[in-house]
Amino acid sequence: MPAIRNALVIGGGIGGLTAGVALRQSGIDVDLVETKPNFSVYGVGIIQPNNTLRALDQIGLAARCVELGTPFPGWRIHDAGGNFLMDAPNESHAAPKFPSNNGITRPDLHRILYEAAYAHGVTIHLGTQVHALDDRCDYVRVELTNGLTSDYDLVIGADGLYSETRKRLFGVSVTPQFTGQAVWRHNFARPDHVQWGEIHMGPHSKVGLTPLRSDLMYMFLVTSELGNQRVPEDQLAVLMRQRLEGFGGLISTLRDQITDPTEVVYRPMESLLLPSPWHKGRVIIIGDAAHATTPHLAQGAAMAIEDAVLLGTLLRRDASLEKLLTEFMSRRFNRARFVIESSDRIATWEMEHWSGVSNPDARPGQLLHEASLALLDEY
């Protein structure tokens, strides 16, 4: 018998939708509220390393991701001129029947998740938020902005980096911190020869290319940015092109195609780690709301998905909710911290290198390789 009868998930993003599916597969009734009126997401891509595919396979969704996405074996490293330097292949022993990486568009991933949530019977309220939440010890009474009031055995806050649920529970002592870097993204037609992920190392930035579909790839450009400045939206194409000056080969050809500012997705990089435990009473925080990382290990969505799948699996057990949430924390906190700290260290080394500081201890490639390997261990 499951530890709980019903749950409310706040947030219909990657973590929330996955939690909805995972809990339904454990026999739990699930309501989900999403503030947006529809499931639209911006159209760049997500890299799914092999541990993400393992977690998605546990709820039966990895094969569909690979079907709609594009597998790739690792990263092909180039200098700024586009000259090949080396291959950095990734392992796949967490889920051997799946590739070491899968590139997928965000809209495709989202569609897989919300279709699965509907198919499993998650009751979804779009354009809705929590109006009031009262933890009454034996249950949580929740009033929604659409006028409905219900009682839940568990509330899961999966409402992203700027989580209202986190603020409700833990106040504003932990807030996202700007890391000094930003990422610029743009989709392109994919040339046949881009079969791996590609990294092009510039003197003051790095550029990556990720296969997404047979005809599509996306570029990510990582730069140091002074302060967490907001960038005028109509300038995004010009500014991205400026930051790509100095790159040769394929990147310089692609640079000339960046003309429409609405096609550029710009994000300052922020990270956050909520101290353990991420739960209070019958409310728990998961995903970016609890632990947001920079994309250096491509593990943000992976961590949200692992949280959700593990929570669904644990809640199948016949044990007290408190005991299960304590076990959840013992299996999630150090892993999320490892991802955030490793990503932050790589970011710091990159910024030092780009500003001309020589650090003899800096080994970003080695840390990236070792951390990616470590994340294939059981979670």
Is 36 a binder of ligand FAD (CB under 6 A)?
yes
Residues 288-317 that bind ligand FAD (CB under 6 A): 288-289, 295, 298-302, 304
Residues 127-146 that bind ligand FAD (CB under 6 A): 129
Kindly state the number of chain residues that form the binding site for ligand FAD, as judged by CB under 6 A.
31
Closer to ligand FAD by Cβ: residue 127 or 203 = 127
Q: Which helix (H) or strand (E) holds 334?
A: helix 321-354
Find the shortest distance in angstroms from Cβ 334 to ligand FAD.
18
Interface with ligand FAD, residue 265, by CB under 6 A: yes
Among 2, 8, 16, 273, binds ligand FAD (CB under 6 A): 16
Answer yes or no whether residue 94 interacts with ligand FAD by CB under 6 A.
no
Q: Is 259 exposed, middle or buried (0-12, 13-18, 19+ CB in 10 A)?
A: exposed
CB of 29 to ligand FAD, least distance (A): 19
Member of 7, 14, 28, 222 binding ligand FAD (CB under 6 A): 14
Helix (H) or strand (E) holding 33, with range, is strand 29-34
Asked if 225 interacts with ligand FAD (CB under 6 A), we say no
Q: Does 46 bind ligand FAD (CB under 6 A)?
A: yes
* CA nearest to 8, candidates 89, 137, 122, 110: 122
CB 151 within 8 A of CB 185: no
Cα–Cα separations (whole angstroms), residue 117 to 60, 111, 152, 284: 12, 10, 19, 20
Rounded-to-integer distance, Cα 216 and Cα 187, Å: 7
Residue 341 touches ligand FAD, criterion: CB under 6 A: no
Q: How far is CA 83 from the centre of its chain?
A: 30
DSSP per-residue letters across 196-235: SEEEEE-SSEEEEEEEEETTEEEEEEEEE-STTPPPPGGG
Alpha-carbon dihedral 17, 19, 20, 22, rounded to 10 degrees: 120
Residue 280 binds ligand FAD (CB under 6 A): no
Q: Is 117 in the site for ligand FAD (CB under 6 A)?
A: no
Interface residue list for ligand FAD (CB under 6 A): 10-16, 33-36, 46-47, 129, 158-160, 164, 185, 265, 267, 287-289, 295, 298-302, 304
